[in-house]
Structure 1
């Protein structure tokens, strides 16, 4: 198979060698540099990448990615889109070829570790569609862009089992351009629920609670807003907005609605358990945290958050069991929480306390 990697970049010389080492399993690497001033193009070219330089004005990620895709040779069997702050686990090419032989598809998604803890443990993990055939696909949306098939009929999406891409971003790099691009996306496609959800979430991240609430409510009201996981996430974000503006009972109603909207996802249960812990409602904490832990299958979409799959539900269960007088179980769940975050001093102290009180 002919497998090529393509990417966009700007001022990422610090990542060039690490990225090229990871991408070296491909038959070729093609990069569109959009205006680096730090020597990134030369650094990549010295390692064997084919680099073109072109500024994209006004800036939007989908246009840049589509221009970078145009650099890929016509004989490609599969194109792999990555960023310079991303690294594949070794032998990714072999595993991708195996997946393609087992399940021939025009596009594949791979496991994507979007964030990591300070100790290197996995944080947010989902499966992302970044691998596809050379023709028929384009990137869409000014930011948080996704790959879209241009044909009339939908095409199959395969899982590249065993292929895992890790995201190691530069914490100093500004993401300030995201909000205006998300606002642009919502203006361009006001009926698109994805645009509304992302924009509402970004307003929440910025602490603009009123705008976040308005946009998230708009998302839920859109006729095409039917994806339960995304709707449940908007409901959780609305609950957070209510908490920040002093409306605790309204927040609880939104947490309940999030659980009911997507009962197969952990996140709603864990946030509700956390809410009850602030109220010292320990039976409520236990009900919600245990309901979360009963769900062992992590959703493959980006609608999942690391807190739900780390120490938090175990820690909340331990606290609830201790307050309800079940100290053996508090020790068990406290130990499991510590396994998830062995360097966490609070969890260490909690477990020592449970064991001392047993």
Structure 2
């Protein structure tokens, strides 16, 4: 017999291709409630056929927090645990049992593992902690985009880790993200003291190739007294460096990457970015040094800021190239071999390894 009454809730629009898979993954819940925000396909009919309770709401102007709060308001008051997901996300089987095993009446929310993307063979690549499971009362969604749950209850906010509870993300990459930038600008206007919102806005400017705006916004973030998380500060410095690189100022880019390394020396990302900059400059000693330092780091932090290129073949590829250019052919071969093992279908890596092998054999004669 279940300990708690659990409701899965979501917002959606035109996601008929995900309905069956999603409903199967959330079938362990007692109730499934979906707020549709204007589908023109068969999303609503398919959800109802599979047993979901669906409400249709028009939200103008569009904001993600408003949509999710409307969805939250549709959940019955007697629900104990609310589980927020999107239709392009899939829980691994057994999630409910794992959640109920650690949830207690004094819990306010739960943390679990979220898979953002995957390697070519389908195994998880980028994973980090997610926290969208919460008590029915005392929570509201805030921020127009990149919305988060804000606890407004009177009890102490008590989060619990759910070991083995995994939510996997299989996004529709064809969906545009053009609405994100204006919503992030709105979020920064509404919440000028929220460092995370300023950081996300600066990052979005970089994505849109608005490099000067990105630099000024991220520098503003770094000056905020609440911006104290070293890994996020490091990311801001790395993004500033990327913007300077894109505008042709490699000297300023390098300076900001040194700052990023000093800010957070225990993660691979700033070393990888410096190695990539060294590659552009054909500074092979720098590439060699940075790849060596990065490869000394063997543990991922679990942060959403993890860059997959820090943990794939990239470091070994750069190490192979730099050692080759420095005349260290035997070491170059070992790194090149490792890169090929990590990405066996990459013809460039295989061709490079063949060239390195020939040079190493020639050098030994």
Correspondence list, 1:1-358, <5 A? 1-100=4-103, 105-117=107-119, 119-151=121-153, 155-358=157-360
CA gap 1:137/1:126 in 2 versus in 1, 3 angstroms: same
Q: 116-125 vs 35-44, which deviates more? A: 116-125
Which of the two has higher C-alpha Rg?
Answer: 2
**Hey, what's the Cα distance between the residues in 2 that align with 1:90 and 1:352?**
45
* TM-score normalised per structure 2: 0.91
Cα distance, 1:180 vs structure 2: 0.6
Contact 2:112–2:163 (CA under 8 A) maintained in structure 1: yes
Cα distance, 1:353 vs structure 2: 2.9
**Hey, what's the Cα distance between the residues in 2 that align with 1:100 and 1:315?**
45
> What are the superposed Cα offsets for residues 250-295 of structure 1, whole Å, 9 maximum, x if unpaired?
0000111111111122111110111112222222112212222222
**Hey, what's the Cα distance between the residues in 2 that align with 1:338 and 1:153?**
54
Unpaired runs of at least 5, structure 1: none
CA gap 1:77/1:333 in 2 versus in 1, 3 angstroms: farther
CA gap 1:188/1:92 in 2 versus in 1, 3 angstroms: same
* TM-score normalised per structure 1: 0.93
Cα distance, 1:357 vs structure 2: 3.2
Unpaired runs of at least 5, structure 2: 361-365
Contact 1:125–1:306 (CA under 8 A) maintained in structure 2: no
**Hey, what's the Cα distance between the residues in 1 that align with 2:100 and 2:355?**
51
